[in-house]
Amino acid sequence: MILGTGIDLCEVARMRAKIQAPADEFVNQVFLPGEIAYCGTKRHPAEHFAARFAAKEAVVKALAGTGGVGSFWRDIEIMNEQDGRPVARLYGRAKELADAQGVRRVFVSLTHTRDLAAATAILEG
Query: pLDDT value at position 64?
Result: 83
Instruction: Residue 46: give its domain's CATH number.
Output: 3.90.470.20
Distance (Å, rounded) from C-alpha 58 to C-alpha 9? Answer: 9
Instruction: Tell me the whole-structure pTM to 2 decimals.
Output: 0.92
Residue 106: domain span = 2-124
Query: How many domains does the chain contain in total?
Result: 1
Query: pLDDT value at position 21?
Result: 66
Distance (Å, rounded) from C-alpha 113 to C-alpha 51? Answer: 10
Q: Which residues are catalytic?
A: 61, 112
Model pLDDT for residues 1-53, shown as the tens digit of each residue? 999 999 999 999 999 999 986 756 889 899 999 999 999 999 999 999 999 99
User: How many angstroms separate the first and last alpha carbons of the chain?
Assistant: 5
Distance (Å, rounded) from C-alpha 42 to C-alpha 124? Answer: 31
Query: pLDDT value at position 69?
Result: 56
Model pLDDT for residues 61-79, shown as the tens digit of each residue? 999 875 555 567 899 999 9
From the list 70, 35, 33, the residue with the least C-alpha distance to 50 is 35
